[in-house]
């Protein structure tokens, strides 16, 4: 079984990387394979709402000039997802949100139903809001949200400082154990036994 960990920081070796490394180390101890993907710091487009991915059932974003499709291609190969982001102005990193919105929208079928968790990394404040924001798509995609002993928040400013946040690091290890537990219970199958979906009722509020 395998978990994809997305590092949404422009700093490859920053505090988000430290938090994700702690999760990955614990997952390895639990016998779960991991892959950490860094979104990099090259320009990333926002969703253009062109609808081409849905209209043509592409399973990928029509724009292939950034990291988005390289990330979403991994969705089918993994059994769980963990997204880590630095906190910027009380929000997740904008580039990360751009990637995730396009990847989820264009390739939802490959990730729906798989367990997921978010991690927010900050110097001082705004992590709860960022954490909640990162969790929003999981709820929309039938993805069981994996919890820990506290909200998945890690503190640190300059790269590496997060390793001094002993409670944050413990929260990361607990998260990893809970993710492994979920995967072992479900044998990596997305929510086996989950009731079949009804036909989707998409309501318009203006008609
Ligand atoms: C543009 C920008 C905005 C930031 N906003 C916040 C913030 O709202 N709250 C906070 O506690 N830290 C804030 N920080 C600090 C980062 O969240 C913190 O340094 C974090 O460890 C960065 O993670 P990284 O090393 O993985 O990039 C901000 C940093 C930047 C560059």
The atom number, within ligand 1, closest to the CA of 155 reads 21
pLDDT in tens, 1-23: 999 999 999 999 999 999 999 99
pLDDT in tens, 44-79: 999 999 999 988 888 999 999 999 999 999 999 999
* Shortest-distance Cα residue to atom 20 of ligand 1: 122
* The model's pTM: 0.96
CB 152 within 8 A of CB 118: yes
The atom number, within ligand 1, closest to the CA of 157 reads 19
The ranges of the chain with pLDDT < 50 are: none
Q: Is 16 in the pocket of ligand 1 (CB under 6 A)?
A: yes
- Angle at alpha carbon of residue 39, lines to 35 and 45, rounded to 5°: 140
CA distances from 169 to 77, 149, 188 (A): 27, 11, 25
- pLDDT for 204: 82
CATH class of 2-186: alpha beta
Chain Cα centroid distance, residue 8? 9
CA distances from 162 to 82, 158, 170, 181 (A): 18, 8, 11, 25
């Amino acid at each position: 079984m395998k978990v994809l960990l997305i590092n949404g920081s422009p700093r490859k070796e920053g505090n988000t990387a430290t938090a994700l490394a702690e999760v990955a180390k614990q997952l390895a101890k639990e016998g779960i394979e991991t892959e950490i993907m860094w979104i990099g710091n090259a320009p990333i487009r926002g969703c253009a709402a062109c609808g081409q991915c849905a209209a043509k059932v592409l399973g990928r974003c029509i724009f292939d000039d950034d990291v988005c499709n390289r990330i979403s291609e991994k969705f089918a190969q993994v059994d769980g997802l963990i997204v880590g982001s630095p906190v910027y102005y009380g929000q997740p990193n904008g580039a990360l949100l751009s990637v995730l919105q396009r990847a989820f929208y264009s390739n939802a079928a490959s990730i729906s139903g798989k367990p997921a968790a978010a991690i927010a990394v900050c110097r001082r404040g705004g992590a709860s809001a960022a954490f909640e924001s990162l969790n929003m798509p999981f709820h929309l995609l039938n993805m069981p949200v994996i919890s820990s002993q506290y909200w998945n928040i890690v503190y640190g400013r300059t790269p590496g400082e997060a390793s001094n946040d002993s409670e944050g690091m413990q929260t990361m290890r607990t998260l990893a154990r809970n993710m492994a537990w979920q995967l072992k219970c479900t044998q990596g199958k997305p929510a086996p036994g989950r009731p079949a979906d009804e036909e989707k009722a998409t309501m318009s509020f203006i008609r």
